[in-house]
Amino acid sequence: MTTNKPLPSFALAITPIAVMFILLAVGYGIMGLRIEALLLISATFTGFIAMKMGYSWDEIMDAIVEKLAKAMPVILILVAVGGLIASWMISGTIPYMVYWGLKVISPQYILIAAFFVTSLVSICTGTSWGSAGTVGVALMGVAAGLDVSMGAAAGAVVSGAYFGDKLSPLSDSTNFAPIVAGSNLYAHIQHMLYTTLPGFFIAAVVFYFAGQNTNVATVAEPQKVVDIINGLDTLYHFNIVLIIPPLMILWGAISKKPVLPLMLAASALGLALGMIFQGFSLQQGFNAFVNGFNITMFSDNGQSLTTIIPDITKLLNRGGLFSMMSTILLVFCAFSFAGILSLTGALNVVLGRFLHLIRSTGQLILSTVIATITVVCTTSDGKLALLIPGELFQDAYRKMGLDTKNLSRTLEDAGTIIEPLVPWTAAGIYMAHTLNVPTLDYLPWAVQCYTGVIFAIIYGFTGFGIAKAPLTPSVNNNDVVISTNTETNKG
């Protein structure tokens, strides 16, 4: 939205941003208040500034609607992700992945196995917390039985859990980052491979050789692992056909098919497989798709749950359209603030001041990393670490001729997977309590979580893996020349 009103002074422009930081740092970080309410207060404060500058209420509302309209396609994808997860629980697709992941554990290679298994589960489920809280806990039991360093084992679990959280199209952060950066989901995932795969290989090497120096005397498989495998085998009728839905998603990602129809088709296939192989009714499938899957659905079909351990319940009870409503509410509240802020031109003023100090792509990437980590540490929230720098730096990337997928990748490198390494964040507290290992003990071993930042900065200053913005159509001698995205691979 463009206006003829003068831009605010730097002091006035930075005031709503500072107020939001203070509200989030004190209200959420210290007092534990809900983020959504704090963002609405920030939006209200920014609205008063906009009115002081001469903007009408209708102009403010139009700015918010315009901001949300741009995010609506991906908001719909977030809703579809919830239904997709539930349908794959109905079919047994996700439990099938977990089942085989646990069965291939080799005691001799417990650290690298923990890394690979949690990576697989988190890719399939899109949740780092769910992966760590279920198979991660079981793998920690394996490590304890083998007298392996618990810090190393927890680092392997956290690394694997956040590998999938960063790359899975089912992850809310993976969907959220391109929203706030103005990029595309599949382009974002593909671009993240530049920083994520090198970290994955480095982590694999570290865990492999660390495992060779560990006492790996053969012991009986911990009972919890056995109970999870047997429990899943009891509940589901496993079949190789169950891997077709994730293969469909993988095919769609590679061939760049439209995301929403692809996810809905994979959900429909999951529901059909659930009715064919698991004996669920169409009504049960639709209820799970909307409200989320619940293990009690097996008892409704006459199966006994008396031998099922709580870990299986934690693994299975998730998904559904309604499960994404809290994330979408956060998007609405955050974009209300961002829409008004954009209307006033405050972001342009603040960015203009800082852009005078940024002379290169490397400095821009480094500034993004520093800003994102700062937001993580001050607000203790990974989504805000994506949202705030995403709004602040988006125009800067465009002005320097860079594709915004560089921004979304850097946000994930410095935000999503750094969060569990900070002891006072929600993710850091969850991982430490769930795995029963202090954050600072597993931090050095969580290789996957900090190598992304290192590679992001290196790429920024070398130009390797940095995508230029697509050129707009230009007319020359009555011919339209269109340039497509290319990766710059400079030595």
Name residue 468's beta-bridge partners: 402
Give dist(CA 67, CA 91) in Å, integer: 37
Residues 38-82: tens digit of each pLDDT: 889 989 999 999 998 889 999 999 988 988 887 787 678 778 878
Q: How confident is the model at residue 198 (pLDDT cuts 50, 70, 90)?
A: very high
Whether the predicted pLDDT of 268 surpasses 80: yes
Range in 128-132, 359-363, 456-460 with the lowest mean pLDDT: 128-132
For residue 1, give both structure tokens.
């939205």
Task: Name all contacts of 307-313 with Cβ < 8 Å and 24+ positions apart.
Answer: 307/230, 307/231, 307/234, 308/231, 308/234, 308/235, 309/224, 309/227, 309/228, 309/231, 311/134, 311/137, 311/138, 311/224, 311/227, 311/228, 312/134, 312/227, 312/228, 312/231, 312/232, 312/235
Least confidently predicted of 110-119, 297-306, 415-424, 427-436: 427-436
Span 360-364, average pLDDT: 88
- At residue 131, the pLDDT reads 77
Residue 274, pLDDT above cutoff 90: yes
Beta bridge partners of 474: 481
79, 71 Cβ separation under 8 angstroms: no
Token pair for residue 235?
């509940």
Percent of the chain with pLDDT over 70: 87
pLDDT at 458: 93
Query: Please, are residues 156 and 55 in contact by the beta-carbon 8 Å criterion?
Result: no
> Average pLDDT of 464-488?
53
Alpha-carbon distances, residue 260 vs 149, 198, 253 (angstroms): 43, 30, 12
Which pLDDT does position 472 carry in this prediction?
A: 52
Which band of pLDDT confidence, cut at 50, 70 and 90, is reported for residue 343?
A: confident
- Choice between 242 and 319, residue whose per-residue pLDDT is larger: 242
**Does residue 9 surpass a pLDDT of 90?**
no
State yes or no: pLDDT of 286 exceeds 90. yes
Q: Which of 174, 209, 137, 200 is nearest to 450 (CA)?
A: 200
Candidate ranges 275-284, 365-374, 391-400; pick with highest mean pLDDT: 275-284
Handedness of CA 130, 318, 331, 253 (dihedral sign): positive
Most confident of the ranges 147-151, 162-166, 208-212, 213-217? 162-166
Which residue has better confidence, 351 or 193? 193
Average pLDDT (386-393) is 81
What is the pLDDT averaged over residues 397-426?
86
C-alpha to C-alpha distance for 226 and 352, rounded to whole angstroms: 59
398 C-beta neighbours (distance < 10 Å), count: 14
pTM for this structure? 0.67
